[in-house]
Structure 1
Amino acid sequence: MKKMILSLIVGMMLLPMSVKADEGMWFLMFIERLNHRDMQKMGLQLTAEEIYSINHHSLKDAIVQFNGGCTAELISKDGLVLTNHHCGYDAIAELSSAEKNYLKDGYWAANRKAEMKPSSLFVRFFVRMDDCTKRILAQLNDKMTEQEREKAINAEIAKIEKENNEGGKYVVSVRPFFQGNEFYYFVYQDYKDVRLVGTPPESLGKYGGDTDNWEWPRHTADFSMFRVYADKNGNPADYSENNVPLAPKHYLPVNLGGVKENDFAMILGYPGRTNRWMPAAGIEQNVKYSYPAWVEGAKTGMDAMKKYMDQSADLRLKYASKYASTANYWKNRQGMIDALTKFGTAKSKAAQEAKFDKWANKAENKAKYGSAVTNINKFYGMTNEKARHDNYLQQLFRTTAFGTIGRTIGRQLDTYAKADAAKRAEMAPEILAGAEEMFKEVHIPAEKDLLAAQLKLYATKSTGYAIAPMVEKIGKENNNDFSKYASAAIDMSILTSVDKIKAFLDYPMQSVLDNDPIYTLSNDMVSHFSSKSDAIAKAQNEYGAGFRALVQGLRESKIASIQYPDANSTLRLTYGKVRALPADKRNDAKINNYTTMDGMVKKYKKGDEEFDMPTRVLDMNAKKDYGRFVDKDGSMHVNFLTDNDITGGNSGSPVLNGKGELIGLAFDGNIEAMAGDVIFDKNLQRTINVDIRYVLWVIENYSGAKHIVDEMTLVK
């Protein structure tokens, strides 16, 4: 089915991109000017002021960035927060143990006192944003190198942040857009007392596992719930038993009416990263060099972790979060390779750039834009092999515990060894606390295998660019078998257990640290990763200026019709409709825009890691025990599709109807449109959402936690 659909649209993807109503991740401050009329035609019933207002409560006040990476929303007057299960995964795993495995078995707090505080978790509220483009560009000139330009920008950013943080009350972030042609500042307020309220069992929250990830049809209860606490005056505060649930400025009412084809749907959230302006050569580099190395490195790490995770519940918990994150991007990057190749995206971009190059080299444009494409292509040509090298090394850093430890705990110990007694006394508790936290997720036999496997992959596959000198030397001495070295180095190192780090704090010796095998290996790899030749540095400088000129020129010439900037973890709105994919025999639903619990049960495999499910769910489905959350067709709707434009970071974003009521929770995209971070396909791109009625059924009917649903404002 996938191959047939993909082949039908290859030719279509070669056409110039055009903005559609459902394409784009839009700034809230420009909704009135750019989008409001279109949204009204599609079904929006709110004013622009009700979506984004500085002086009055609005939808933006109910949307938070969750722990710096996902999105979440306030759904009760008492600070109840809804996000994805996979967004809460770290916190749930941390609070779990082999004896009380909330990740596996689920958890619902019976009362406020039973809500649990993870060690580190925060939500970020968006207060306001403003344009500071003219102010920053006034500090720059065309004679600056990229480094000089960056220095001047950072100096002005520091002033803007200081002017707007109100003495530390707010977090201020100035971000570049359109490749540094525009700048906006964002004001946020962080709340750090965030507690777990509940989560479904993993068999529901992660139903389908890696097999169903990025696939449709889906049947996943990908949600978890938390609560934000504040001091008695509603201000951010560190954890305290005296804190009270936050009374938010706005929270989302929950609509129980369900959805149908062509219903209006909008999503507010914090999309992490798109590359819609990426040049053709950059796409080619990703497809042929970066992503294949990423995929292979991720799979190597996953295989090593899985070997130990299968041995015990304790080890599964230790590596659950890292494995899930690695697996998610492993499948994503392979999907990107396949989609970008089949869609001919690089070819499409190259055709656009050829047209731009002709315009750029007209007499009136040449001085400003003439060398842009040439300099961009030169840089990518010089760095293709380095990109492959860097991705192998990055996966080593991401999947092993000790790859970058030389620059984390190792650097702290170096500073500690050189410090006087007073400074050491100040530093020791922090270093020890960091080590204790790190080693909660470390199993030494697993780390030996992980390090050996990743070193071998890196040493043998990164053949077009010189590898780190120490890795090369060890490889040559051991015929690229790093097993003995990794085992011995970890055994000998002072950085590989809390006890050994504590012993060093008691008796610090610089010579011991300087000769530590893990410390020196880590520093060697990180230094090599960060280094670049003078030629590449020069090409990178010209590339930075060239890419900025390309984006500005594409907008000025109107050769590119995109009106929105790439996503960069700032709050955006996307709007579209509930929209089916072509009929699929794997889905039992009457229209291929939703799935049912009956379809979920058909996937059931007893004892299977990905497709097992609680017996209680099977029994309740057999009895059609869906309570007040049953659809009018008599079935329990589980997930549904919209054509909203989202990406990573939108996980946990609310899906809203035209009245601003919650109808679902975004959690995934479909693999057929995996090129979506680079080019939006209006025919295939879909957002996969949890139906809010299924969320409530899991809480109230399956879990018996009706008191939590009772907090919400339900609209029939």
Structure 2
Amino acid sequence: MRKALCFASLLLVATSAHANEGQWQPHQMPEIADQLKQSGIRIAANDLADLSQYPMNAVVGLGYCTASFVSPKGLVVTNHHCAYRAIQYNSRQQHNYIQDGFLANTLADEVHAGPSERLYITESVTDVSKQVTENLPSEPLKRYYAIQDNRKALIKECESDENYRCAVSSFHSGLEYYLIKQLIIRDVRLVYAPPMGVGAFGGDIDNYEYPRHAGDFTFLRAYVGKDGKPAAYAEDNVPYTPKSFLKINAKGVKAGDGVLVAGYPGATQRYRRASELKFAKEWLYPQQANHYQKQLDIIDRMSFDNEALAIKYAGQVASTANRMKKLNGLMDGFKATDIVGIKEQQQQAFSDWAKTNAPAVLDDVAQLEKLLADKRERQQTNLFFDNAQNSAMLKTAANLYRWAIEQQKPDAEREPGFQQRDEKMFVARLKRLDTSYDASMDKALWLMELEAYQNQPHRVAELDAMLAEGDDKPLEERLQAMYTLTRLSDSNTRLDWMNKPVQAFQQSADPFIRLAVALYPVTNEQEKREKTVWGELSKARPAYMQAIIAFNKENNKPVYPDANRTLRISYGTVDGYMSADALYKQPFTKLEGILAKNTDVEPFNAPKKLLDAIKAKDYGEHMVSELYPQKQSFLCRFISCDSQQPPFNSVPVNFLSSVDTTGGNSGSPILNGDGELVGLNFDSTYEAITKDWYFNEEITRAIHVDIRYVLWMMDKVDNAQNLIDELELVK
């Protein structure tokens, strides 16, 4: 039975995966120009490949999400959950913007999004594979450092202007490297965020589920100095003028329309080995899910009836709950579809091909599997020790000590993250701790990690020595003493430690600094081993990937790199899907669904003014009568298309499409065939979570906020006319 299932799945891949699968690099767009046209994309493929032109120069990164410019005054739109840190940073008990929302009616009312918030505008992507990989030594650790030195040299040359941030990113597991140059906007401000009851309507219950009714959008603004150049936050800074901004199509899309998504997807593992998937499925993901659940339970217990504490940890709760739901979805997906079996059969087909076409790669595969087995063993050994260092105070002390150590070296020899180029962000993270740290919560979370560490066999003598100090008292009391004695909870003290020498750390009486100093030799040795394995993998993986690419091309399969937080484009169709036997999910939801779901109890507690506007059917020009043409590529397979569809007669809230996305695509603009904004990506369906490992076209769908709902909220609910006037609307 299993073999039959796997064969059917392989057949599905072979016959349909070419249609929408692919998180393409912009320069690849001309290669798939015909597919784009067939999907209803009218904008020229060459225009999509040009990062200096509309629409790609309007797409920006946040470092963890995606956003886009939508006005000539630097107005940016992204997801509510992507702007959560900015909303949390400005929330207090007396003005809780998380719960109540925020709207600046004038530029003067816009507030600082926080010291660590940035916008990154990608201006160029250059192939530097030869510069990075030519004449590398064979010894693994030396190879690692040679690659890193080559990357750092390219970055230093690229960053001759301090307003730019550059990176050399690996593609196809080190087969290719690209130098990415981004303009940094360092003054970001919060402009308009709906209340939690809109932006996260349905909360974790609805997360990854469909139908959805979330208004997951927020507006930010980019500011620069009066000279037009990027600058740190200052009250007299002025709005940034982008090279272009997205036009907004107020008519939106209908079922069957072709759409594009452009953004910065985080990480996929579609080219990983079956052994890696099996390890994640059977050990890593269950461990992580259990760990995250314990964290959430502690935060929920301690922040209950404590609004100030809930605000401080709101961002951590949201991100942890999202990871938790995704892990559960992955594990459920592996039960529903034998993806390990599918990958094993795909690998066997590749091996059969390689015996004739690339026999040398089979030795690389054997070496790769050996390295991966060693890597898995070390992950299992080190997991609890790594988690036992998850105190915010301990991590701060460790980072400060490492900063002091690295400052003893010439800048070019310092580790990434501790170079001169990293100082501003390092300082920003130290400052941000003021709004996201509480000693009692940090202690409770750390105690949980330490107790888990003590209950497993793989121990570290240096950490055990700390745990043994004063062991006549309960561990919780000993930890409390550490939090009482440390001064690292003070922002000025943390910043002052950045200027102190290594000797000061080694002589410090601060308990967290003492522990960081004691653990450094252990963590440094672990890091050295990781670098050695990385160096070994830098030989095995590229050779394997080169053969995989040749195999895929010969079999007419799409060839694109795994996601790695660099700018990508995907295309697809506005389309529903069969989520289960006899259960078809249509692509659009509407306002009335909010009324049906609303219970006035979190997370289904929409604001009264929103509910009143829906009840009054105050749709204005945003109402849509028809969204389902009689001829649809997917729906007609499951229902009769000969009969007339009932009129929609409402405002669309969310919609589905078959574009290929993953984490990091949150906030990405959804563009119609002419490159106009019609929605914002914010989630995937539960059945599609396993797409990070395996793309199944029939059930893989992404969920988007419909731009008509955003405009309706601005117009009829929150009276954000000042912002509507900034937008260029296509009606």
TM class by smaller structure? 0.7 to 0.9
**For the residues of structure 1 that align with 2:224 and 2:528, how far apart are their CA atoms?**
51
Q: Which runs of 5+ in 1 are unaligned?
A: 1-5, 418-428
Matched, 1:657 2:686: no
Per the alignment, do residues 472 and 563 of structure 1 end up closer, same or farther by CA in structure 2, a change over 3 Å counting?
same
Match of 2:619 among 601, 614, 626: 626
Matched, 1:86 2:81: yes
Matched, 1:132 2:143: no
Matched, 1:404 2:395: yes
SS in structure 1 at match of 2:201: coil
Counterpart contact for 1:268–1:571, Cα < 8 Å: yes
Matches within 5 A, 1:658-677: 658-677=673-692
Per the alignment, do residues 393 and 660 of structure 1 end up closer, same or farther by CA in structure 2, a change over 3 Å counting?
farther
User: Which residue in the other structure is 1:235 paired with?
Assistant: 229
Match of 1:258 among 229, 249, 252: 252
Per the alignment, do residues 224 and 493 of structure 1 end up closer, same or farther by CA in structure 2, a change over 3 Å counting?
same
Per the alignment, do residues 11 and 309 of structure 1 end up closer, same or farther by CA in structure 2, a change over 3 Å counting?
farther
TM-score by length of 1: 0.87
Question: Which is worse superposed, 444-453 or 224-233?
Answer: 224-233
Per the alignment, do residues 165 and 471 of structure 1 end up closer, same or farther by CA in structure 2, a change over 3 Å counting?
closer
Matched, 1:458 2:453: yes
How much has 1:290 moved relative to structure 2?
A: 1.7
**For the residues of structure 2 that align with 1:533 and 1:246, how far apart are their CA atoms?**
41
Matched, 1:712 2:727: yes
* 1:374 aligned partner, one-letter code: A
User: Which residue in the other structure is 1:295 paired with?
Assistant: 289
Counterpart contact for 1:393–1:529, Cα < 8 Å: no
Per the alignment, do residues 336 and 636 of structure 1 end up closer, same or farther by CA in structure 2, a change over 3 Å counting?
same
Matched, 1:123 2:123: no
Per the alignment, do residues 529 and 611 of structure 1 end up closer, same or farther by CA in structure 2, a change over 3 Å counting?
farther
Matched, 1:50 2:37: no
Matches within 5 A, 1:342-491: 342-360=336-354, 365-366=358-359, 368-393=360-385, 397=389, 400-410=391-401, 437-460=432-455, 462-463=456-457, 466-472=458-464, 482-491=475-484
User: Which residue in the other structure is 2:108 paired with?
Assistant: 113
Counterpart contact for 1:14–1:347, Cα < 8 Å: no
Matched, 1:176 2:161: no
Per the alignment, do residues 458 and 339 of structure 1 end up closer, same or farther by CA in structure 2, a change over 3 Å counting?
farther
How much has 1:180 moved relative to structure 2?
A: 1.1
Counterpart contact for 1:129–1:186, Cα < 8 Å: yes
How much has 1:432 moved relative to structure 2?
A: 9.7
Matched, 1:71 2:66: yes
**For the residues of structure 2 that align with 1:432 and 1:39, how far apart are their CA atoms?**
44
**For the residues of structure 1 that align with 2:491 and 2:128, how far apart are their CA atoms?**
47
Q: Which runs of 5+ in 2 are unaligned?
A: 409-423, 626-647
User: Which residue in the other structure is 2:717 paired with?
Assistant: 702
Match of 2:93 among 72, 93, 98: 98
Question: Which is worse superposed, 83-92 or 16-25?
Answer: 16-25
User: Which residue in the other structure is 1:30 paired with?
Assistant: 28
**For the residues of structure 2 that align with 1:414 and 1:149, how far apart are their CA atoms?**
23
Structure 1 residues 300-343: Cα deviation after superposition (integer angstroms, max 9, x where no partner): 11111112222322111111111111111121122222223432
Structure 1 residues 536-578: Cα deviation after superposition (integer angstroms, max 9, x where no partner): 8876654442222221122233477340001111111000000
Question: Which is worse superposed, 676-685 or 156-165?
Answer: 156-165
Question: Which is worse superposed, 330-339 or 665-674?
Answer: 330-339
* 1:23 aligned partner, one-letter code: E
**For the residues of structure 1 that align with 2:404 and 2:302, how far apart are their CA atoms?**
30
Counterpart contact for 1:14–1:345, Cα < 8 Å: no
How much has 1:670 moved relative to structure 2?
A: 1.2
Counterpart contact for 1:475–1:481, Cα < 8 Å: no
* 1:407 aligned partner, one-letter code: A
User: Which residue in the other structure is 2:145 paired with?
Assistant: 151
* 2:609 aligned partner, one-letter code: R
Matches within 5 A, 1:480-629: 482-497=475-490, 510=504, 514=508, 516-522=510-516, 528=522, 531-532=525-526, 541-558=535-552, 561-582=557-578, 592-606=586-600, 608-629=601-622
How much has 1:287 moved relative to structure 2?
A: 1.4
**For the residues of structure 1 that align with 2:346 and 2:406, how far apart are their CA atoms?**
52
Structure 1 residues 31-88: Cα deviation after superposition (integer angstroms, max 9, x where no partner): 11x111111121111112332326x63211110002x111000111211100011111
Q: Give the count of matched residue pairs.
A: 687
Matched, 1:682 2:677: no
**For the residues of structure 2 that align with 1:506 and 1:353, how far apart are their CA atoms?**
53
**For the residues of structure 1 that align with 2:358 and 2:473, how far apart are their CA atoms?**
53
Matched, 1:638 2:636: no
Matched, 1:191 2:202: no
Counterpart contact for 2:668–2:681, Cα < 8 Å: yes
* 1:380 aligned partner, one-letter code: L
